Structure 1
Amino acid sequence: MKPDAVAVAALVILLFPMGYFLLASPAFLLVKLDIPPVTQLLRGMFNIQFRMMAVTGVLATVAFLVAGRPLFATGIGLIAALAIRGRGWFMQRMDEELSARDAGDTGAVRRLRQLHWSGMLCNAMLVAALVTSIPYVAIST
C-alpha cells in the first residue's frame, strides 16, 4: 500500500469516532441533565471520545509522517494534543459541575449543558476541517 493511501485511510479512520460523536451527542439535548444516570452516560461518552481522538490522532499523525506529509501531520498532531490535554481539563470541569449539581447548585445543570454544547461545537468544527481537507490529502494519491 502506498504511503499516501495510508494517510487517506488514517484520515478516514480518524473521522469515524468524530462522526459517531457528531451523531450521538445531540441526543443528550433531549434529556434533562439533572438526572444522574443521564449525566454519567454523557460523561462516559465524552471520556471515550477524548481517548479515541487521542489514539486515532497519534496513529494518523504517524501515518502522515510516513507518507511524507508533515503539514498534515502537524495539523492532526494538534488535534491529538488537544484531545490528550483537553481531556483532563474537560473531565475535571464536568466532574466539578456534577458534584455541584449533586450538592444542590441549581446553576450547575446550565453549566453542564454549556460544556455539552461546547464539546459538540468543537467536534463539529474539527469534523468540518477534516472533511474539507480530504481533497487536498487525496490529491497526490
Structure 2
Amino acid sequence: MKPDAVAVAALVILLFPMGYFLLASPAFLLVRLDIPPVTQLLRGMFNIQFRMIAVTGVFGTAAFIFAGRPLFAAGIGLIAALAIWGRGRFMRRMDNELSARDAGDTEAVRRLRRLHWSGMLCNAALVAALVTSIPYVAMST
C-alpha cells in the first residue's frame, strides 16, 4: 500500500469512532441525567470516545508523517493531543458534576447537560473538519 493510501485509510479509521459518537450521543438528549445508570453510561461513552480518538489520532499522525504530509500530520496530531489532554479535564468535570448531583445539587443536572452538549458540538466540529479535508488528502494520492 502506498504511503498516501495509508494516510487516507488512517483518516477514515479516525472518522469511525468520531462518527459513532456523533450518531450515538444525541440519544442521551432524550433521557434525564438525574438517573445514575444513564449518566454512568454517558460517562463511559465519553471516556471511550476520548481514548479512541487519542489512539487512532496517534496512528493517523504517524501515517501522515510516513506519507510525507507534515501539515496533515500536525492537524491530526493536534486532534490526538486535544483528546489526550481533554479527556482528563472533561472526565474530571463530569465526575465533579456527578458527585454534586448525588450530593443534592439541583443545578448539577443542568451543568451535566451543558457538558454533554459541549462534547457533542466539539466532536461534530472535528468530524466536519476531517470530512472537508478528505478531498485535499485524497487529491494528491
> Match for residue 50 of structure 1?
50
Residue 39 of structure 2 corresponds to residue 39 of structure 1: yes
Percent of matched pairs sharing the same residue: 89
Alignment root-mean-square deviation, CA: 0.2
**Superposed counterparts of 1:52-71, under 5 Å:** 52-71=52-71
Q: How many Å apart are 1:140 and its aligned residue?
A: 1.0
Ranges in structure 1 where 5+ consecutive residues have no aligned partner: none
Whichever residue aligns with residue 108 of structure 2, its letter is A
> Match for residue 137 of structure 1?
137
Ranges in structure 2 where 5+ consecutive residues have no aligned partner: none
Whichever residue aligns with residue 19 of structure 2, its letter is G
Aligned counterparts of 1:26 and 1:88: Cα–Cα separation in 2: 22
> Match for residue 9 of structure 2?
9
> Match for residue 26 of structure 2?
26
TM-score normalized with structure 2 length: 1.00
TM-score normalized with structure 1 length: 1.00
Task: Give the number of aligned pairs.
Answer: 141
Q: How many Å apart are 1:128 and its aligned residue?
A: 0.1
Moved >2 Å (runs of 4+):
none
Q: How many Å apart are 1:118 and its aligned residue?
A: 0.1
Whichever residue aligns with residue 17 of structure 1, its letter is P
Write out per-residue CA displacement over residues 15-61 of structure 1, whole angstroms, 9 at most, x where no aligned residue. Answer: 00000000000000000000000000000000000000000000000
